[in-house]
Amino acid sequence: FEYGALAGKHVVITAGPTREPLDPVRYISNHSSGKMGYALAEAAADAGASVRLISGPVTLQVPPRVDCIQVETAEQMLAASLDDIDRCDLFIAAAAVADYRPVAVEEHKIKKGSEEIMELRLTKNPDIVATVAGLGAQRPYTVGFAAETRDVIGYARSKLIRKGLDLIVANDVSNPEIGFNSDDNAVTLVSADDEVSLPQASKRQLARRLIEQIAQHYKQSTK
């Protein structure tokens, strides 16, 4: 691990779930713990970067020297991501963004009715990492994650292309020992022409290896 690998660089990392309100007391969300994103923020700061972490609701401590912006919804996460994009060199999207949000947020608590079936209308959330990757010439080097249960590399590679990313971290979440909520992870870093497997390790250790690899790819791209 190289302590100066990201010296002078500004890194923005999204982490955790988003929370999409239905009414003042209810929301749609997911089980993301934020551990991988927070570990990446810590590793990027250790590599010398200035780090902004844009975090959905999680119960983790913000690592030292990391500037954390707390958000709830995907729309807030997108706005925060674009907020200092001009000075962003490297954007890493580790958040588990809700794909859909309720069409309307009710002002008052939705009351239980007599009907057995209740239908919710949902609308698609913006794709944050694809928006950032599509910003044009001034865009930061952009890294996404792909949590998959089968054909992990294949789906990750198609996401890399579809979203216009520079790198994607492929994560097999069918294995309960790694991925969502667990302390360990194992991933494959996929670029347009290459694949690097990083074996199972604590998310903290793995984050340091990932930041090392990402910094190397990023340097290559700016040569």
Summarize as ranges the residues that interact with ligand C5P (CB under 6 A).
Answer: 14, 74, 93, 95, 97, 125, 127-129, 144-146, 159
- Residue keyed to tokens 């090392």: 212
Query: For 117-124, which contacts have Cβ atoms below 8 Å and span 24 or more sequence positions?
Result: 120/22, 122/28, 124/99, 124/100
- Hey, what's the torsion of the CAs at 197, 130, 4, 223, to 10 degrees? 90
| Cβ atoms 92, 214 nearer than 8 A | yes
145 marked as binding residue? yes
For residues 39 and 146, which CB has a smaller minimum distance to ligand C5P in the complex? 146
127 marked as binding residue? yes
For residues 31 and 223, which CB has a smaller minimum distance to ligand C5P in the complex? 31
For residues 17 and 63, which CB has a smaller minimum distance to ligand C5P in the complex? 17
* Min CB(130)–ligand C5P separation in Å: 7
* Min CB(154)–ligand C5P separation in Å: 13
> What is the number of other CB atoms lying within 10 angstroms of the CB of residue 40?
30
CA separation for the pair 133, 141 (Å, rounded): 8
The active-site residue out of 30, 125, 175, 181 is 30
175 assigned to active site? no
129 marked as binding residue? yes
111 marked as binding residue? no
* Min CB(132)–ligand C5P separation in Å: 8
* Min CB(160)–ligand C5P separation in Å: 10
Chain centroid to Cα 159, Å, comes to: 14
109 marked as binding residue? yes
For residues 82 and 105, which CB has a smaller minimum distance to ligand C5P in the complex? 82
CA separation for the pair 129, 169 (Å, rounded): 13
| Number of Cα atoms under 13 Å in the Cβ half of residue 69 | 18
Binding-site residues for CTP sit at 99, 109, 126-129, 145, 159, 163
**Which residue numbers are catalytic?**
30
